[in-house]
Amino acid sequence: MNYKPSAERYQQMTYRRCGKSGLKLPALSLGLWHNFGNTTNFENSQNIVFTAFDNGITHFDLANNYGPPPGSAEKSFGKILHHDLGGYRDELIISTKAGYGMWDGPYGDWGSKKYLVSSLNQSLRRMKLDYVDIFYHHRPDPDTPLEETMAALDLIVRQGKALYVGISNYGPERAAEAFKILKEMGTPCLIHQPKYSMFVRTPEEGLLDVIGKNKVGCIPFSPLAQGLLTDKYLKGIPKDSRVAKSGVFLNESHITPEIIEKIKELNLIAQKRGQKLAHMALSWLLKDTRVTSVLIGASKPEQVLDSIECLENLYFSPEELQSIEKVLLS
Instruction: Give the domain CATH number at 41.
Output: 3.20.20.100
C-beta of residue 21 within 8 angstroms of C-beta of residue 286: no
Q: Please give the residue range of the domain that contains residue 124.
A: 15-225+277-313
Compute CA distances 88 → 180, 233, 301, whole Å.
35, 38, 20
User: What pLDDT is attached to residue 16?
Assistant: 98
Flag whether 239 is in a domain: no
Flag whether 209 is in a domain: yes
* Local confidence band at 112 (pLDDT 50, 70, 90 cut-offs): very high
Characterize the bridge pairing of strands 24-26 and 15-17. antiparallel
Flag whether 259 is in a domain: no
Q: Give the count of domains, the chain.
A: 1
CA separation for the pair 234, 181 (Å, rounded): 46
pLDDT more than 70, % of the chain: 94
CA separation for the pair 71, 287 (Å, rounded): 34
Flag whether 176 is in a domain: yes
DSSP letters for 62-79: --TT-TTTTTHHHHHHHH
pLDDT more than 90, % of the chain: 90
Ramachandran class of 318: left when φ > 0, alpha when ψ lies in -120 to 50, beta otherwise: alpha
Q: Kindly report, residue by residue over 116-164, the tens digit of the pLDDT.
A: 999 999 999 999 999 999 999 999 999 999 999 999 999 999 999 999 9
Compute CA distances 218 → 160, 178, 291, whole Å.
23, 15, 5
User: What pLDDT is attached to residue 246?
Assistant: 53
CA separation for the pair 304, 300 (Å, rounded): 7
Q: Kindly report, residue by residue over 25-48, the tens digit of the pLDDT.
A: 999 999 999 889 999 999 999 999
Q: For 31, which DSSP code?
A: E
Q: For 85, which DSSP code?
A: I
CA separation for the pair 13, 85 (Å, rounded): 19
Contacts of 38 (CB under 8 A, 6+ apart): 67, 68, 69, 72, 76
C-beta of residue 187 within 8 angstroms of C-beta of residue 165: yes
Flag whether 97 is in a domain: yes
CA separation for the pair 315, 319 (Å, rounded): 12
User: What pLDDT is attached to residue 241?
Assistant: 58
Mean pLDDT over residues 81-101, rounded?
97
Q: Of 169, 76, 179, give the one whose Cα is nearest residue 128.
A: 76
Mean pLDDT over residues 185-192, rounded?
98
Q: Omega before 68 cis (within 30°)?
A: yes
Flag whether 67 is in a domain: yes
CA separation for the pair 138, 10 (Å, rounded): 30
Mean pLDDT over residues 207-235, rounded?
95
User: What pLDDT is attached to residue 249?
Assistant: 58
Whole-number mean pLDDT of the chain? 95
* Local confidence band at 248 (pLDDT 50, 70, 90 cut-offs): low
User: What pLDDT is attached to residue 242?
Assistant: 54
Q: For 12, which DSSP code?
A: S
* Local confidence band at 255 (pLDDT 50, 70, 90 cut-offs): confident
Cα torsion angle, 198, 320, 212, 157, sign: positive
Compute CA distances 321 → 117, 118, 201, 262, 328, whole Å.
44, 46, 15, 15, 10
Three-state secondary structure call for residue 168: strand
Q: How many residues does the chain have?
A: 330
First to last CA, the chain: 51
Flag whether 57 is in a domain: yes
Contacts of 183 (CB under 8 A, 6+ apart): 189, 214
Flag whether 231 is in a domain: no
User: What pLDDT is attached to residue 84?
Assistant: 96
> Torsion angle, CA of 302/305/306/309, rounded to 10 degrees?
-170
Q: For 260, which DSSP code?
A: H
CA separation for the pair 313, 328 (Å, rounded): 21
